[in-house]
Amino acid sequence: MDFRFTEEQQLWFDTLTAFMDKEVGREYIREHDASRTFPDEAYRKFADRGWLGLLVPAEEGGQAADPVMYAIFCEVIAKYSLDFAAAIMTSMFTATNIANHGTPEQKAQYLPGFLAGDVKFSISISEPGAGSDAAGLATRAVLDGDQWILNGNKVFCSGAHLPGTVINLMARTSADRHRGISMILVPNTTDGVDIRKLNTIVRRSFGTTEIFLTDARVPRSNIIGEPGQGWDYLREHLEMERLSLAATYVGNARTALDDTVEYTRTRTQFGRPLSKFQVLKHRMAARETEVNAARLLVYSAATRLARGERALKDVSMAKVYAADVAFRCAFDGMQALGGYAQLPEYDMERYFREAKHAMVGGGTSEIQHSIIAKEMGL
């Protein structure tokens, strides 16, 4: 079995790496993390290159990249920040709900603007009473003539506040636990939609929100598919989302480890570089092994998806393991850098914050273990 990238895949990886170093860079990431502002300039650069359309079919104006090429994309753009990567990716994998299941009218209304960088998408699943238990959501959508009336409370909806954003909102259209859930498109300027940005330790540049819906009305045509199909679309959505997240964890873990190695080579204590101390060498060797193992899990899952196979267990294994590895790399980096790790200009404290969030966002590590166990027949 050949684990090497093809020539096309390697060129894609190299192109993206050069882009992140020359067109984005560490300082840009730091500035937007500190100011809690969305990376608009960088987002526009992605749009101008056509990269927002990687998952959109060619007939809709996209590039129809396979999951392996998409995983490469996600790995590289997370080089300096998981939050930055999420700011780019969230609209991309959320747009697939429309690209794959929307009506011709929905595609014509939303996808051209998305590909141009003018329309963004967010996915709204969690509620104060329904986090890991996504099917426990209580937000309701009631049909009133040609309109849906929405009432409820959503939380941790990343990017919902950004200008030009359309929320793919999961709402209950009947009492059935799974078949009563529908996916409805809600522009964030809709009357009755109150969006409040949350002051979290991560999602600082992208932003995550709480949403209050009070008799908010959207057209009946804003539903994706038929009422009750939302749970099926959500499962498909989460498979691609978790692949992309796992890939970002690998990309950021790689940088956290590389930064640690570089620091220990140049920092001298007790008359020798830190890299000469066995305890640190062994920690870094262990993390090197784990980063490479996590990367293999990611591309194994991506390859399965590229073949059109079911990969629920694979993406869950990749996500839970890569999240743990990213955290361990950042934790060890915090230890090695000591007091300097507390300073934003050394980046490690950002890696640490964002890696901890990786164990919760997009499905907690505990939920991933439950999914894996279920797929094992346990």
Domain residue ranges of the chain, discontinuous segments joined by +: 7-118, 122-228, 231-375
Helix boundaries (H) for the chain: 7-19, 25-35, 40-48, 67-77, 82-101, 104-116, 230-266, 278-306, 312-337, 348-358, 365-375
pLDDT above 90 coverage of the chain, percent: 97
Average pLDDT for residues 313-328, to the nearest whole number? 98
**Which tokens belong to 32?**
């937007």
7-118 adopts what CATH topology? Butyryl-Coa Dehydrogenase, subunit A; domain 1 (1.10.540)
Cβ contacts of residue 216 below 8 Å, gap of 6+? 149, 150, 151, 186, 190, 191, 192, 193
Is the domain spanning 122-228 CATH 2.102.10.10? The answer is no
Report pLDDT for 3.
85
DSSP string, 154-205: EE--TTTTSTTEEEEEEEESSSSTTTTEEEEEEETT-TTEEEEE---SS-TT
pLDDT digits (tens, 9 = 90+) for 219-258: 999 999 999 999 999 988 889 999 999 999 999 999 999 9
| Integer angstrom CA distances of residue 89 from 36, 43, 82, 93, 241 | 18, 10, 10, 6, 9
Instruction: State the burial class of residue 218 (Cβ atoms within 10 Å of its Cβ: 0-12, 13-18, 19+).
Output: buried
User: Is 354 strand, coil or helix?
Assistant: helix
Residue 12 pLDDT? 98
Q: For the chain, first and last CA: distance in Å?
A: 30
pTM summary value: 0.96
For 2, other C-beta atoms within 10 Å of its C-beta total 5
**Cα torsion through 364, 197, 237, 173, rounded to 10:** 100
Following CA atoms 174, 178, 183, 189 in sequence, which dihedral angle do they give, to the nearest 10 degrees? 70
Give residue 165's region: left, alpha or beta (phi > 0; psi -120 to 50): beta
Tell me, what's the pLDDT at 247? Answer: 98
Write the single-letter amino acid at 140. R
CATH second-level architecture of 231-375? Up-down Bundle (1.20)
Nearest to residue 297, comparing CAs of 374, 91, 352, 305?
305
pLDDT of amino acid 1: 74
Say what the pLDDT of residue 294 is. Answer: 98
pLDDT at 317: 98
State the pLDDT confidence band at 70, using cuts at 50, 70 and 90: very high
Average pLDDT, the chain: 96
pLDDT for residue 215 is more than 90: yes
pLDDT digits (tens, 9 = 90+) for 282-294: 999 999 999 999 9
Confidence of residue 376 (pLDDT cuts 50, 70, 90): very high
pLDDT at 169 over 80: yes
Place of tokens 């859930």: 181
> What does the alpha-carbon distance between residue 378 and residue 376 come to, in Å, rounded to a whole number?
6
Other CB atoms within 10 Å distance of the CB of residue 269? 11
pLDDT in tens, 140-159: 999 999 999 999 999 999 99
Question: What confidence tier does 213 reach under pLDDT thresholds 50, 70, 90?
Answer: very high
Query: Please, how many CA atoms are within 13 Å of residue 160, restricted to the half-sphere of its CB?
Result: 28
CA distances from 271 to 6, 259, 275, 333 (A): 45, 21, 12, 21
Q: What is the pLDDT of residue 235?
A: 87
Per DSSP bridges, beta strands 193-197 and 268-269 are unpaired
Residue corresponding to tokens 């890569």: 322
pLDDT in tens, 89-112: 999 999 999 999 999 999 999 999
Mean pLDDT score, 189-199? 98
Say whether pLDDT at 348 is over 80: yes
Angstrom distances, CA of residue 278 to CA of 99, 260, 306: 52, 15, 42
